[in-house]
Structure 1
Amino acid sequence: MAKTTPATQALLRAKLAFELVPYDYDPGAERVGLQAAAAMGADPAQVFKTLMVDLDGNAVCAVLPSDAELNMKKLAAALGGKSAKMMQPADAERRTGYKVGGVSPLGQKRAVPTVLDASAHDWPQIYVNGGQRGLQIRLAPGDLVAALRCTVIDLLR
């Protein structure tokens, strides 16, 4: 497993502290984030998934706990849009440069508006995908916000 991904490079360039946490990825898992949490022995609310969303024809990134569902209306309203829907997997891969199951909010091919769920600040450290299947990054939520320059709001249903 590679220890260097575009996600880790972005954090190194920003001089932010993080820890790589490899885990056994199950390609047959129904919900990748929940499987990652179980494999690492972490609380699913602390392991954040990355969802790529089509908002009025534009790509946006939503980062939220793996055990939660995204409220599309809240996301659209927060970013001044009207209609939000999940991006097709092939489009998400093409847009981010990552494979589904390994999409990180960090180091994407093209920067897009990113929104982090406010519950991230309930934890001293959270996990986000490290840019490949079977690799998570543990870091402070404030450092993730600094790296992404993202908006923090309640995204949950």
Structure 2
Amino acid sequence: MGSCAVAGRATPATAALEAAGVAYALHPYTAPGRTAYGTEAADALDVDPARMLKTLVAEVDGTPVLAMVPVAGTLDLKALAAARGGKRAVMADTGAAQRLTGYVVGGIAALGTRQPLEVVIDLSVAEHATVYCSAGRRGLQMELTPDDLLAATGGELAELCAG
């Protein structure tokens, strides 16, 4: 898997990976884009939903943070708060998520955000050789190793899924 650019598909997220020299593969797809964007991406690309990560914008004690969990799972807000050393976590509303990241819902990436944001990634990523996450637009996923995702985002691993 080498770094690659798909003509006309560069995003702030892919530019950040290129600048960091991180290897990744891009996977464009077509999906209805109704609401379950991550599940639709997993289905369209025929990828195990445990390997497809959704990037969620939340606030821990008022501080914005990105949480990455498998599309097959549900973010445990108490676990996110604990991972960030906080008391309470809440989901950001759609408008706030888009303003903070510069991306539209369904295409929010953990890299190249408008504002630098802390990233917490569910520890289940360590079970996979590669994982998929948004490349910064609906219909475009990037595949990279969990170690590269952690390094590129400056993220930390924590148990974030409910159940």
8 Å contact kept, 2:100–2:114: yes
Q: Could you say which residue in structure 1 is the equivalent of 2:103?
A: 98
Q: Could you say which residue in structure 1 is the equivalent of 2:16?
A: 10
Where does structure 1 lack aligned partners over 5 or more consecutive residues? none
Rounded to whole Å, the distance in 2 between the matches of 1:146 and 1:62 is: 15
Q: What's the secondary structure of 1:131's corresponding residue?
A: strand
- Aligned positions, number: 156
Once the two structures are superposed, what CA deviation does each residue of 1:58-86 show, in whole Å capped at 9, x if it has no partner? 10000010010011111101101111111
TM-score (norm 2): 0.93
Q: Could you say which residue in structure 1 is the equivalent of 2:138?
A: 133
Rounded to whole Å, the distance in 2 between the matches of 1:69 and 1:122 is: 17
Q: Could you say which residue in structure 2 is the equivalent of 1:84?
A: 89
TM-score (norm 1): 0.96
The reply to whether residue 44 of structure 1 matches residue 17 of structure 2 is no
Q: Could you say which residue in structure 1 is the equivalent of 2:157?
A: 152
Q: How far does residue 88 in structure 1 lie from its aligned partner after superposition?
A: 0.2
Alignment counterpart, residue 116 of structure 1, candidates 94, 118, 121: 121
Q: How far does residue 25 in structure 1 lie from its aligned partner after superposition?
A: 2.8
Once the two structures are superposed, what CA deviation does each residue of 1:20-41 show, in whole Å capped at 9, x if it has no partner? 000113122x311111100000
Off by >2 Å, runs of 4+ in structure 1: none
- Considering only aligned residues, what root-mean-square deviation do their CA atoms show, in Å? 1.0
Q: Could you say which residue in structure 1 is the equivalent of 2:4?
A: none
Identity of aligned residues (%): 40
Where does structure 2 lack aligned partners over 5 or more consecutive residues? 1-6
